[in-house]
Amino acid sequence: MHPVINHMVQLQELTLIRDEQLHAKRTEHLEQLNTSISEMTNKLPANMRTQFEKLQKRDPIAVAPISDSNCSVCGMKLATSLVQMISSKKEMHACPSCARILFVDDSAPRRVGQRTRRHGPRKVGIARFSSEVLMIPDLSATNAEEAIQELAEKMENEGFVLHADKMIEAALRREALCSTAVEDELAFPHVRSVEGGGLTLALGTSKKGFHFHDERGLTRIVCFIVIPTAASAFYLKLLAGLTKSFLKENNRSALLKETDPVKMWKTLCRVTRTTVK
């Protein structure tokens, strides 16, 4: 990847993490994140800094990967010659449609999404992003890495994603930047830029609980989320909706008592009915 684009990708990730913290109503890392964002922004070449900041004023995603020769955000089909120039990684190029800076990330995990393309009634609420086959009552995990691995492999085994190992690696890199564990026994580990399908959620519970992060108490509900680039903004709405639902102890208790994936799924749909649209 072009070194300046790599810098912008990392900077963009920090700004998205800051937005996550705000939507999850966490403030303890905001000062540190704001300092890091400011320092990284100032290290950009002046012309690229201006372009990056202009793009981010319009949308949090200023730098986007190519997916199947398309801009992963606006979906425009790119000319073969443009894709080849971007793939050479010698110069920076923008999408002719949305003006986002484009790059190729061959190492990113891919999503299959076959399960969500079936014909049938239009899905609503959390059913748009998940399924009863992605529920794991009573995770065997005893730490964050094991929980992420268990949920990512569930997604792969059920035919929702390819290369769970890459997703696990990416999710752990994200955890190293700032833990996704929050108050009220919750954690929201996730992977961005998983193209080839829609936003997807797998959910696991642990009645005993475990320390997802040393600074937090026990975690008992883990939502593992796969986020395509185009859904990054909507992910924040999903995060806010899930957080609002699980702030209520009776909702958490209802989910934790279920031992059957189908019943757990029905409970998830019920407790998020008014918060996840």
Q: Are 257 and 236 found together in one domain?
A: yes
Looking at the structure of the chain, the number of domains it has is: 2
Confidence of residue 159 (pLDDT cuts 50, 70, 90): very high
Q: Are 129 and 201 found together in one domain?
A: yes
Q: Are 130 and 252 found together in one domain?
A: yes
Alpha-carbon distance of 272 to 89, in angstroms, equals: 43
Residue 276 falls inside a structural domain: no
Residue 60 falls inside a structural domain: yes
Residue 79 falls inside a structural domain: yes
Examine the fold and report which residue of 41, 70, 103 is the final residue of a domain before the chain moves on.
103
Residue 43, judged by CB atoms within 10 A of its CB (0-12, 13-18, 19+), counts as exposed
pLDDT score recorded for residue 24 = 79
Confidence of residue 25 (pLDDT cuts 50, 70, 90): confident
Residue 109 falls inside a structural domain: no
pLDDT score recorded for residue 108 = 72
For 38-87, the pLDDT digits (tens) are 999 999 999 999 999 999 999 999 999 999 899 999 999 999 999 999 99
**What tokens does 248 get?**
């209520």
Q: Are 78 and 166 found together in one domain?
A: no
Examine the fold and report which residue of 82, 103, 124 is the final residue of a domain before the chain moves on.
103
Residue 153 has pLDDT above 50, yes or no: yes
Residue 235 has pLDDT above 60, yes or no: yes
For 216-226, the pLDDT digits (tens) are 689 999 999 99
Q: Are 147 and 99 found together in one domain?
A: no
Examine the fold and report which residue of 52, 84, 103 is the final residue of a domain before the chain moves on.
103
Cβ-Cβ contacts under 8 Å for 215 (sequence gap 6 or more): 179, 181
**Which runs of E-coded beta strand occur in the chain?**
63-67, 70-71, 93-94, 101-103, 135-136, 181-182, 186-187, 190-192, 200-210, 219-227
Domain that holds residue 20: 3-103
For 160-215, the pLDDT digits (tens) are 988 899 999 999 999 999 999 988 899 999 999 888 788 999 999 999 999 997 66
Alpha-carbon distance of 217 to 211, in angstroms, equals: 6
Residue 176, judged by CB atoms within 10 A of its CB (0-12, 13-18, 19+), counts as exposed
Q: Are 151 and 175 found together in one domain?
A: yes
Neighbour tally for 75: CB within 10 Å: 12
Q: Are 62 and 122 found together in one domain?
A: no
Question: Residue 45, SS3?
Answer: coil
For 92-147, the pLDDT digits (tens) are 999 999 999 999 987 777 665 545 444 456 688 999 999 999 999 999 999 999 99
Q: Are 156 and 258 found together in one domain?
A: yes
Residue 277 falls inside a structural domain: no
Q: Are 94 and 64 found together in one domain?
A: yes
Instruction: Give the CATH number of the domain where residue 262 resides.
Output: 3.40.930.10
Q: Are 127 and 49 found together in one domain?
A: no
Angle at 133 between CA 105 and CA 182, to 5 degrees: 65
Instruction: Give the CATH number of the domain where residue 62 resides.
Output: 1.10.287.1490
Residue 231 falls inside a structural domain: yes
Residue 145 falls inside a structural domain: yes
Residue 258 falls inside a structural domain: yes
Q: Are 154 and 222 found together in one domain?
A: yes
Q: Are 65 and 140 found together in one domain?
A: no
